Structure 1
Amino acid sequence: MGKLIYAANVSLDGYLEDATGAFDWSVPDEAVHQFWNDHERGIGTSLYGRRMYETMRVWEDDDWLADEPAVVQEYAQIWRDADKVVYSTTLESAPTARTRIERTFDPEAVRRLKEESAADLSIGGAIIGAEAFRHGLVDECVLLVCPVAVGGGKPALPLGVHLDLELLDLRRFDNGVVAVRHAVRRS
């Protein structure tokens, strides 16, 4: 059975993006990128909301990768090798390989996907992540806390949901980013 892991870059004040929708403050250096590579290598299926998927699908294209560092090129291959489920009512089709579109987020279907999966699953995006938390589907939370406060925007964790967490791991990077990994405790 796979675990469902919510993973995100987050500002110190708890946002995925600022009030204008920008998240350029979370661009990883090489060490942080390697952390994400190592994390994503264990993921068999990624669950995305439409906006997160549209941000991530750049990894399907080779055009811009030729002059990028090896760690960036490696991430592209890791991303391509994972299955992707995109929750969207507006996308007609997925332009990336190993991707399927689901019109609605069905908690029971996600539970079955976890039960049938030999590898862990990740979930990315504030809205779809909040749904997974509300339905008790998230097993772990991996947050890379960036050394910036953006003052508002899209919260990384769902509002109105109480979560009891157990610290599993913590790592500090030279650029000031701190990675925290928590298990979600079940009541």
Structure 2
Amino acid sequence: MGKLIYAAITSLDGYIADTAGNFDWSTPDAEVHAFVNDLERPIGTYLLGRRLYDVMKVWDTFYGQDGLPKEMEDYAAIWHQAQKIIYSTTLSEPGAANTRIEPTFDPDSIRRLKAEATTDLSVGGAELAGQALKAGLVDEIHLLMSPVMVGGGKRALPDGASTSLELLEQRRFGNGVVHLHYGVKVD
């Protein structure tokens, strides 16, 4: 059985993008990027909303390129090898290997996917992760808190989701980013 993990890089005030949709303040340095790669390495399947997929599909073009920083080359390989399920009503073709499109996020199908998985799964995109959190599907949360406040924008955690968490791990990086790893308690 696989765990469903939500990971996000957020501002200190809890946003993944500011009011203009920018997230350039969240670009990880080499130390944080290498750490994120290690978090992502056990992921066998990514569950993504269309907007996050639009951002992440650049990693398909990075795969196999020469001259990239080591951390980028490593992540491109991690991304390339994983299965990707994109939840979208507007995409009809995935445009990349190991990728399929689903029109709706169905909690029961995710429960089956978790039960049958031999690797962990990741849910990405704040709206999709919010649906998974509200449905009680998320097992762990990783937040990488950037030392910046953006004052508003797209929240990393949804309104209306209520659950108890257990702090499993924390780490501080040289650039001021703090990683918080929580387990979701089953009530």
Q: TM-score, normalization: structure 1?
A: 0.97
| Structure-2 separation of matches of 1:114 and 1:175 | 35
- 2-structure distance, mates of 1:21, 1:62: 23
- Equivalent position amino acid for 1:132 in 2: A
Q: Corresponding residue for 2:109?
A: 109
CA distance in 2, matches of 1:69, 1:167: 32
Kindly report which structure 2 residues correspond to 1:1-187, keeping only aligned pairs within 5 A, or say none.
Answer: 1-62=1-62, 65-187=65-187
Q: Percentage identity across aligned positions?
A: 55
Distance 2:98 2:182 in 1: 29
Q: How far 1:163 moved relative to its partner?
A: 2.0
**Any unmatched runs of 5+ in structure 1?**
none
Distance apart, 1:90 and its partner CA: 0.1
Q: Which runs of no fewer than 5 residues in structure 2 stay unpaired?
A: none
Note the C-alpha offset of 1:162: 1.2
Q: What's the CA shift for 1:36?
A: 1.0
Query: How far 1:169 sits from its partner (Å)?
Result: 0.6
Does the 8 A contact of 2:166 with 2:182 survive in 1? yes
8 Å Cα contact 2:12/2:146 also seen in 1:
yes
Query: Do the aligned partners of 1:130 and 1:158 also contact (CA within 8 Å) in 2?
Result: yes
Counterpart of 1:137 in 2: which secondary structure?
coil
Q: Say whether the 8 Å CA contact 2:49–2:87 is kept in structure 1.
A: yes
Q: Is the 8 A contact 1:6 1:124 kept in 2?
A: yes
Distance in 1, matches of 2:52 and 2:62, equals 19
Kindly indicate whether the alpha-carbon contact (under 8 Å) linking 1:65 and 1:72 is maintained by their aligned counterparts in 2. no
Deviation at 1:65, TM superposition (A): 4.5
How far the C-alpha of 1:160 sits from its partner, in A, is 1.5
Structural RMSD (CA): 1.2
**Is residue 170–residue 181 contact of structure 1 (8 Å, CA) maintained in 2?**
yes
Contact 1:126 1:155 in 2 (8 A): yes
SS of the residue corresponding to residue 86 of structure 1 reads strand
Q: What is the aligned residue count?
A: 187
Letter in 1 for 2:45: T
Distance 2:64 2:137 in 1: 36
User: SS where residue 33 of structure 2 aligns?
Assistant: helix
Task: Tell me the CA shift for residue 92 of structure 1.
Answer: 1.1
TM value normalised by structure 2:
0.97
Task: Give me the whole-angstrom Cα distance separating, in 2, the residues matched to 1:29 and 1:64.
Answer: 21
Q: What is the deviation of 1:111?
A: 0.3
